[in-house]
A and B are shown apart, each in its own frame.
Chain A
Amino acid sequence: MNKYFQRIPVLCRGDSESISEWLDRQSIHWILFCCLVITICGGMYGAAIGLWRAGLMATYVAIKFPLLIFLTTLCNAVLNWMLALVMGAGLTFRQTLLAQLMSFTIATLILGAMTPIVVFILYNTPPLSSGSHFGHSFFLLLNVVIIAAAGFAANIRLYGFLLLKIGSRPLAQKIVMAWVAGNLFVGGQLSWNLRPFIGSPTLEIQCLRPDPFDGNFYESVYRSGRRLLHNITSPEKQRK
């Protein structure tokens, strides 16, 4: 176990020789260790997000946050492998899965490291009982920024892993773009199904909404966009 813990800084540094060796080696232990790190660090960050609302919500989100990562990885595993093959990367299924898992491990490590700061900010955020929704909006925005930054850093490393194995810069770029697009597309929908994560301050605390499979993320975005456009174009009707 200690051997795998020592790999964490090496993974974050993107040390090419070691990572190349891990990608080639047929070891299930390293995959399981990455899953363990995602579960612990993702769970910690999820708990910090949910704590904004209540302890129960923190427990729900601590379970759902790593689950979202695993489901996204699993749903896209075959597709990402095929995309890599079609583009001429010549990676095995295990290598594509491991590369993505390692990238998610880096993202959750960053999120885990940011957890104390998020909890501290949460401690200083005006509670819902104060009647102000400023805290909710601020906390929502803060988490979007932190998760986006962690995702960005993880994808930079993913690009590094691929460049290491493939050796061609344009091809590695294409594959990362394709994988990120797929992960965002599926991840957006899965996060919709597993909602709420931060939750609306006016709705009750739930593990899942009563209609998790009713509608999808993109329909919701489309409806919100239409509503916004309608409000802008006909403000008088809204006032009436």
Chain B
Amino acid sequence: MTDSHSAEQAEPRIPPIPSPQQQAAERPATFETNYRDMDNNRHLFQVVDAVLKRPAQVLYEILHGKSVAITVTLLVIAVFCLTAIGLMMAGYSGGEQFAAVPLKVVIGTLLSAAICLPSLYILLCLSGGDQTFPQVCSILLQSLALTGILFVGFLPVAWIFSQATDSIKFMGFLYLLIWGVGIHFGLRLLRRAFAFLNKRTMGTLHLWGFIFILVLLQMSTTLRPLLGSYGSLRTNEKKFFVTHWFGAGDHTDKPATPPRLPDVR
């Protein structure tokens, strides 16, 4: 009795090997397992929940269900979330920026998506994608909605830092980081969705993602100032984003001082 008891204490208890069915049940849900309709749960918050947890359900609705209704819902979510991050960005400078920045963020992001949409469709076709143009448009909106939702998740973080620092450079870096994380997950969803639908990895989507990020970055420069005070920068001057970010003295919050003219009297 004592011998067997001590043997039990000495040997670590090995958990039983789960059966394939148990393994499948414990595995995190994938596109395959969630690719089904939303059981009439198509209200705004239920779609938000599905975009985050079960994106394949939204994908199913786009392809088989009420595609117009779900597309409009995704557009509303994207616009709402982009407006929210725009308001937070505007809060740094205040004043007229509360009206200008949300508008610029929403229009800029949707315009960037519209500019890149034809190339997405053609590159997808070249990779063997079988989706129609409206379907590609809706799936892109789904990824934009996910990006927007993630932005909203970052709002408290952005607010804390905006209250704590006066450095516009730091805030610019922070928002860039937030956009980077959001866009990463948005593009990841896009790639996963098309890979699942076409049963193959769509290599050209990496190239398209790169182009889309460049267009977004340039758009942020075209629509400047997003963080500085309203009218503090000469927005009619055409600049590439690299020149704008790394150029000296153009990304401060101070109003531009006119150049001192030589005394010719």
| A residues lining the B interface (CB < 8 Å) | 8-9, 12-14, 106, 109-110, 112-117, 120-121, 123-127, 130, 138, 153, 157
Q: Tell me which residues across on chain A come within 8 A of B118, comparing CB atoms.
A: 112-116
Q: How far does the Cβ of A60 sit from chain B's closest Cβ, in whole Å?
A: 24
Cβ contact of A109, chosen from B122, B128, B221, B239, cutoff 8 A: B122
Give chain B residues whose Cβ lies under 8 Å from the Cβ of A138. 240
- Identify which of B119, B123, B128, B222 contacts A123 (C-beta below 8 A): B222
* In the bound complex, CA of A117 to CA of B129 (Å): 22
State whether B115 touches A120 (Cβ < 8 A). Answer: yes
Chain B interface (Cβ within 8 Å of chain A)? Answer: 114-116, 118-119, 121-123, 125-126, 128-130, 132, 211, 215, 218-219, 221-222, 238-240
Known A13-B125, A123-B222, A124-B218; contact A117-B116, beta-carbon cutoff 8 A: yes
Who on chain B is nearest to A135 by CB? B238
Complex Cα–Cα for A215 and B118 (A): 39
Residues of A within 8 A of B239 (CB): 124, 126
For B198, the closest partner residue in chain A by CB is A13
Contacts of B115 in A (CB 8 A): 116-117, 120
Contact assessment for A13 and B130 in the assembled complex, using a CB-CB cutoff below 8 Å: yes
Contact B122 A124 (CB under 8 A): no
Picked from A9, A14, A126, the residue with its CB within 8 Å of the CB of B238 is: A126
Which residues of chain A are near B222, meaning CB under 8 Å? 123-124
For the complex of A and B, the 8 pairs showing the least CB-CB separation, nearest first, are A12-B125, A113-B118, A113-B122, A116-B115, A113-B119, A9-B125, A126-B238, A13-B128
How far is the CB of B243 from the nearest CB of chain A, in Å? 9
Which residues of B lie under 8 Å from residue A117 when comparing CB positions?
115-116, 119, 211, 215
- Among residues of A, the one whose C-beta sits closest to the C-beta of B114 is A116
B122 touches A110 (CB 8 A): yes
A12 CA / B131 CA spacing, docked (Å) = 12
* Given A113-B121, A124-B221, 6 additional A-B pairs, CB 8 A: A9-B125, A110-B119, A110-B123, A112-B122, A116-B116, A120-B219
**Does A13 lie within 8 Å of B215, measured CB to CB?**
no
Given A116-B115, A126-B239, A127-B238: A153 and B126 interface contact (C-beta under 8 Å): yes
**Nearest chain A CB to B107 CB, angstrom units:** 13
Q: Which of A12, A112, A126 is within 8 Å of B126, CB to CB?
A: A12
Give complex CA distance A121, B123 in Å: 19
What are 20 residue pairs bridging A and B, where the CB atoms are less than 8 Å apart in the complex?
A9-B129, A9-B130, A9-B132, A12-B125, A13-B129, A112-B118, A113-B121, A117-B119, A117-B211, A120-B115, A123-B238, A124-B218, A124-B221, A124-B222, A124-B238, A125-B238, A125-B240, A126-B238, A126-B239, A127-B238
Closest Cβ neighbor of B126 among chain A residues: A12
**A8 CA / B114 CA spacing, docked (Å):** 20
Task: Give Cα distance in the complex from A138 to B130, angstroms.
Answer: 35
C-alpha spacing A145/B50, complex, angstroms: 40
Tell me the minimal C-beta distance from A47 to chain B in angstroms.
15
CB proximity of B37 to chain A, nearest CB, Å: 26
A120-B115, A127-B238 given; A13·B218 CB < 8 A: no
A137 to B115, CA, bound (A): 23
Q: Report the separation of the CA atoms of residues A109 and B218 in the bound assembly, to the nearest whole angstrom.
A: 24
Q: How far is the CB of A205 from chain B (nearest CB, A)?
A: 21
| Chain A residue with Cβ nearest B128 | A13
Contact A14 B128 (CB under 8 A): yes
The chain B residue with its CB closest to the CB of A126 is: B238
A121 to B239, CA, bound (A): 10
Hey, which chain A residues are within 8 Å of B132, CB to CB? Answer: 9
Chain A residues with CB under 8 A of B221: 124
Q: Note all chain B residues with C-beta closer than 8 A to A124.
A: 218, 221-222, 238-240
Give Cα A153–Cα B115 distance, bound, in whole angstroms. Answer: 21
Which has the most chain A C-beta neighbours within 10 Å: B118, B123, B219? B118
Residues on A with C-beta less than 8 A from B215 are 117, 120
Contacting residues, chain A, for B126 (C-beta < 8 A): 12-13, 106, 110, 153, 157
Question: Which chain B residues lie closer than 8 Å to A153 at the CB level?
Answer: 126
From residue B240, how far is it (CB to closest CB) to chain A in Å? Answer: 6
| Chain B residues within an 8 Å CB radius of A14 | 128
